[in-house]
């Protein structure tokens, strides 16, 4: 086993375990913090894939900005738990009824996807040696081939910003809309 293989399995295990704990936690603050751990592991995987730019923006934008936004909202609402008595008595992942169907569907999805990806056997798609990993190459492609999409992204951000302000603001009378 090379160091790269060991690192892959370590990062993969951290990502999977942290993600499972995210959906198993009652307290959303723990969920958010565990998701940041999962993003850190994914960032390590991006480094293994020779994509350092993605690894860095994963930490800065995802873990640094988006998850802080989630933390703000969780703390702002101050409603950490699913509040009914039933919710407190039974762990969220062990509830009866239609929720179990969701668990079965998710398990079926895992089996199906893993089977589809491994069924053909044979060669497993080893990576070629030359990777495009420099920020210069990504920037050139982004501003040359994808410049229109890049500009459209700015409109998307503007729409999201206006939408968030309108949805979360109170009306002129101070009443929540």
Nearest approach in angstroms of CB 173 to another protein is: 14
Q: Which of residues 109-148 bind another protein (CB under 8 A)?
A: 109-110, 113-114, 117-118, 124-128, 130-132, 137-138, 141-142, 146
Q: Does 173 contact another protein by CB under 8 A? A: no
Nearest approach in angstroms of CB 149 to another protein is: 7
Size of the site for another protein (CB under 8 A): 87
CB atoms within 10 A of CB 146: 13
Helices and strands (DSSP H and E) totals, the chain: 8, 0
Binding string, residues 48-87; x marks residues near another protein by CB under 8 A = xxxx-xx--xx--xx--xx--xx--xx-xx-x--xxx--x
Burial (CB < 10 A; 0-12, 13-18, 19+), residue 80, is middle
Q: Does 164 contact another protein by CB under 8 A? A: yes
Q: How far apart are CA 35 and CA 81, in angstroms?
A: 17
Q: How far apart are CA 15 and CA 21, in angstroms?
A: 10
Q: Does 174 contact another protein by CB under 8 A? A: no
The smaller minimum CB distance to another protein, of residues 118 and 173, is found at 118
Q: Does 159 contact another protein by CB under 8 A? A: yes
Question: What distance, in Å, lies between the first and last C-alpha atoms of the chain?
Answer: 59
């Amino acid at each position: 086993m090379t160091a790269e293989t060991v690192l892959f399995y370590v990062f993969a295990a951290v990502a999977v375990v942290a993600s499972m704990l995210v959906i198993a936690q009652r307290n959303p603050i723990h969920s958010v913090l565990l998701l940041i751990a999962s993003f850190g592991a994914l960032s390590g995987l991006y480094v293994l894939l020779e994509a350092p730019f993605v690894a860095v923006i994963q930490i800065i934008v995802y873990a640094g900005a988006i998850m802080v936004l989630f933390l703000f909202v969780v703390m702002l609402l101050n409603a950490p738990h699913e509040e009914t008595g039933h919710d407190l008595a039974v762990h969220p992942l062990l509830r009866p009824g239609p929720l179990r169907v969701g668990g079965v569907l998710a398990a079926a999805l895992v089996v199906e996807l893993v089977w589809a990806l491994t069924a053909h056997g044979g060669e497993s798609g080893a990576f070629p040696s030359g990777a495009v990993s420099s920020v210069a190459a990504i920037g050139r492609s982004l501003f040359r081939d994808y410049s229109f999409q890049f500009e459209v992204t700015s409109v998307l951000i503007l729409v999201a910003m206006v939408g968030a302000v309108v949805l979360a603001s109170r009306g002129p009378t101070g009443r929540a809309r």
